[in-house]
Amino acid sequence: MDLIPGLPFDVGLECLVRIPHHYFSSVSSVCKSWKRQIQLPEFWRHRKSSGLTRKVVVLAQARVDPTREQGAKKYGAAPVYRLTVCEPETGFGGTAPDSRVFRRVADVLPGGRGRVEISGDGRVGPGDVGGLEWCVHLRLYLRHVAARGRHARPPPPVLRVRVRFRSDGVRGGRARRREVRPEIRDVVRRGERRVVPPARHVGRARRIQRGLPRREIPRHQRVRDERSGRFGTSAESLDVATRRWGPVQEDFWMRPRVRETARTMGAGSCSWRAGPTWRSGGIVRVASRGGAAVGREKHGVRDGVAGETAGDWIERFGAPYKTYLLDLKRCKWEKVEADEEFSGHVQSGCCLEL
């Protein structure tokens, strides 16, 4: 059947393919055949091969409650996330209304715990890299990834990023491996927390530090230690495109007083224009080129706690985060004023080509 009456199918397809992705909701409302067409993987492959796709960053970000009370409320409330969409090249974006996020998160996170992962329409997880697999559909959903237990889903394929840290002279410098999804690269966000962590997280920090599973650390050893889990300032980076390690950068984490959590996002081989392009106050920075390093710095347990991922770790739920930009060229952090509503932590994110 013709897509546009009077025109051959191919020509109609050429027209549809050239519509910017954010109009697809109205386009797919026109008729069933248009909707069907837009949902086909071939359609997106065609868009990509014609060079018509744009990179879109999608984040699931904790909602900051303006009426929050101060204090540790980590276990008090189930996290609620909002979905934010941004097109780095144009700065165009939008935020899902809360009602939708509530509904979706409630659907997929029955207990309200665990990690939220963004994926595109169930076809491609953010762990898939390269090739046409990156073509995904516009509709996004939040997926519950079980935090532990034998029913946990196998994680998506990952590359490893080495982060070098040292334990403040107690042990020698030692390379550690940290998993990060390879396509999560170019956009860097960092949070800072000031609350003294509960003791149980110290054990977790140590476990990470030693590379031991949690159960292998005796409970009595999971105590606060001013030297434990101290991260150094050097880092290495992995260029996902070439799969090569960059040189060790000694003072990569420049600010010694602040615990840093970096989470990088982006697509495998993208290089975006530099500059803060987030429309609503700059929660992400688009790095210019090259591999991003992922790591965290720890300055005594009183200042912070290492978590396995930057995202699944909520110390004071609902509190705003300070936002920093990482300039990958100069290896410098820079503080950014973000709107409070966009200062929740980023739980998950991915870069889609739409």
Partner 1 sequence: MVTTDEKGPLTAKKKSVIIRSCDGDEFLVSESAAVLSTSLKKILEEKEDRLIHLSDIDNKTLAMVIAYLSTHADDGLSDDLKRSFDQEFVSGKEFDVLKYLVLATDTLQVTCLCYTVAKKMADIMKNKLVEWVRREFDIQNDYTPEAEAEIRRLDAWAWDDRQLEDD
Residue 11: CB minimum distance to partner 1, A: 5
Within 8 A by CB and 6+ apart from 287, the residues are 185, 186, 187, 188, 264, 266, 272, 274, 326, 327, 328
CA–CA dist 82, 96 (Å, integer): 6
15 is a site residue for partner 1 (CB under 8 A): yes
Task: Name the one range near partner 1 by CB under 8 A: 26-34, 108-116, 156-164, 329-337.
Answer: 26-34
Q: Does 30 bind partner 1 (CB under 8 A)?
A: yes
The pair phi, psi for residue 101, each rounded to 5°, is: -65, -40
Pattern 67-96, binding to partner 1, x per CB under 8 A? ----------------x-x------x-x-x
Asked whether position 106 contacts partner 1 by CB under 8 A, the answer is no
- Nearest-approach distance from CB 92 to partner 1, in angstroms: 8
Interface region with partner 1, contact rule CB under 8 A, candidates 12-20, 238-246, 287-295, 309-317: 12-20
The residue count for binding partner 1 (CB under 8 A) is 37
Taking the least distance from each CB to partner 1, the nearer of 34 and 253 is 34
**Which long-range contacts does 42-46 make (Cβ < 8 Å, 24+ apart)?**
43/13, 43/16, 43/17, 44/135, 44/136, 44/137, 44/354, 45/132, 45/135, 46/13, 46/17
The 10 Å Cβ neighbour count of residue 239 is: 17
Distance (Å, whole) CA 240 – CA 310:
20
Q: Could you say whether residue 138 binds partner 1 (CB under 8 A)? A: yes
What minimum distance in Å lies between the beta carbon of 184 and partner 1?
Answer: 21
Tokens describing residue 231: 């991260």
71, 97, 130, 275: which one contacts partner 1 (CB under 8 A)?
97
The nearer residue to partner 1, 231 or 278, going by C-beta atoms, is 278
Asked whether position 122 contacts partner 1 by CB under 8 A, the answer is no
Written as six digits, the tokens of 295 are 């790591």
Q: Which residues between 190 and 219 bind partner 1 (CB under 8 A)?
A: none
Distance CA 147, CA 162 (A): 23
